[in-house]
């Protein structure tokens, strides 16, 4: 029986006949980017309004609105926030008018803590109405059993 052994010199590494590959494998990069995209798509809606407000509960249905609205929030201490920025009631109308000049027809959502005095919310609504903003909506939360689909 004849057999052949491939005896190589252990001091010299064997060389491949192919040239080294200089291309970057982008598959892992694409996989990581897709995972990050999904994570950001899921967390972005939760980060839209950061002012903690205990909204009252209601049985009304959700509004299907296109475009991003302007959100005004009144927290339990009565502080007013334009999106996430604290603002005085006197400075609110000029800022809203500047925003509306850039994006006419934008809706304004008012979020008010349920422990807040009703007069404070109505003062804000009256100021908005007197300034000519008539696309204003009050926000509330759905009851827990309605949110779960029961």
Q: How confident is the model at residue 12 (pLDDT cuts 50, 70, 90)?
A: low
Contact 52, 58 (CB under 8 A): no
Angle between helices 118-130 and 89-102 (to 10 degrees): 50
> Across residues 45-68, what is the average pLDDT?
65
pLDDT: which is higher, 10 or 53? 53
* Least confident span in 3-7, 46-50, 54-58, 134-138: 3-7
CATH of 67-76+96-150 given 3.20.170, 3.30.460, 3.30.420, 3.30.70: 3.30.420
Q: Is the pLDDT of residue 115 over 70?
A: yes
pTM: 0.53
Position 26 scores a pLDDT of: 87
Q: Where are the beta strands (DSSP E) in 37-120?
A: 70-74, 80-82, 85-86, 108-112
Supply φ then ψ for residue 109, to 5 degrees.
-105, 130
Q: What percent of the chain has pLDDT over 90?
A: 7
Q: Where are the beta strands (DSSP E) in the chain?
A: 70-74, 80-82, 85-86, 108-112, 136-138
Calculate the average pLDDT of the chain.
78
In degrees, to the nearest 5, what angle opens at C-alpha 69 toward C-alphas 63 and 73? 95
Pairing between β-strand 108-112 and β-strand 136-138 as defined by DSSP bridges: parallel
Position 51 scores a pLDDT of: 66
């Amino acid at each position: 029986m004849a057999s052949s052994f491939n005896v190589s010199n252990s001091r010299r590494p064997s060389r491949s006949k192919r040239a080294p590959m200089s291309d970057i494998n982008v598959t892992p990069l694409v996989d990581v980017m897709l995972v990050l995209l999904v994570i950001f798509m899921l967390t972005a809606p939760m980060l839209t309004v950061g002012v903690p407000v205990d909204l009252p509960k209601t049985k009304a249905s959700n509004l299907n609105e296109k475009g991003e609205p302007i959100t005004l929030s009144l927290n339990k201490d009565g502080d007013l926030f334009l999106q996430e920025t604290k603002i005085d009631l006197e400075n609110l109308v000029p800022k809203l008018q500047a925003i509306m000049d850039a994006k006419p027809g934008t809706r304004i959502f008012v979020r008010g803590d349920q422990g807040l005095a009703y007069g404070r919310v109505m003062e804000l609504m009256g100021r908005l109405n007197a300034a000519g903003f008539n696309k204003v909506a009050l926000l509330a939360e759905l009851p827990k059993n309605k949110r779960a689909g029961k």
